[in-house]
């Protein structure tokens, strides 16, 4: 069964758009930065909420929902960065070993590094959200 031409063209346009983006060292730090912002949000929110509560065992009202929404947004942004990096790492070029530092080789190296950092950041965001979801109160 073949896919309609409109679907194939749309996927081709997306890959072309992602491949045309300029890759720099700044794109390499996007996934860890998203994780760091998520980390700060989760832990600062818990600290402020628990500091305002009169008793130590107070439940975090509304916070698991806020954590869930922040986690989903962070994961989607990391997946988008990883997708763009995956498309860019598949840019055709010379096979290994890479003895000359060509622009394509640098692009593929940075894209692969970004993919690896996106995977690590994805797992880190999940581990950051787990304590709030599991415990759900100020202990």
Residue 36 lies in a domain: yes
Q: What is the pLDDT of residues 18-42, one digit of tens each?
A: 555 666 677 889 999 999 999 999 8
Q: Is residue 31 part of a domain?
A: yes
68-89: per-residue pLDDT in tens? 899 999 999 999 999 988 888 7
pTM: 0.75
The CA-CA-CA angle for residues 69, 72, 78, to 5°, reads 140
- Residue 116 in any domain: the answer is yes
> What is the average pLDDT across 38-60?
79
Q: Is residue 40 one of the residues assigned to a domain?
A: yes
Alpha-carbon torsion angle 114, 118, 120, 123, nearest 10: 180
User: Does residue 8 form part of some domain?
Assistant: no
Q: Domain for residue 98, yes or no?
A: yes
Please answer whether residues 68 and 133 qualify as being in contact, where contact means their C-beta atoms are separated by less than 8 angstroms: yes
Instruction: Residue 85: give the domain boundaries.
Output: 25-135
| Structure confidence at residue 64 (pLDDT) | 74
Q: How far apart are CA 22 and CA 26, in angstroms?
A: 10
């Amino acid at each position: 069964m073949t896919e309609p031409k409109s679907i194939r063209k749309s996927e081709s346009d997306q890959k072309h758009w992602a491949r045309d983006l300029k890759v720099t060292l700044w794109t390499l730090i996007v996934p860890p930065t998203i994780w760091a912002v998520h980390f700060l949000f989760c832990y600062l929110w818990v600290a402020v909420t628990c500091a305002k509560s009169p008793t130590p065992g107070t439940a975090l009202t509304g916070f698991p929902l806020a954590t869930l929404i922040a986690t989903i947004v962070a994961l989607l942004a990391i997946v988008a960065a990883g997708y763009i990096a995956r498309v860019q790492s598949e840019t055709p070029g010379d096979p290994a070993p890479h003895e000359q530092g060509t622009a394509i080789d640098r692009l593929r190296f940075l894209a692969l590094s970004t993919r690896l950092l996106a995977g690590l950041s994805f797992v880190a965001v999940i581990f950051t959200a787990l304590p709030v979801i599991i415990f759900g109160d100020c202990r």
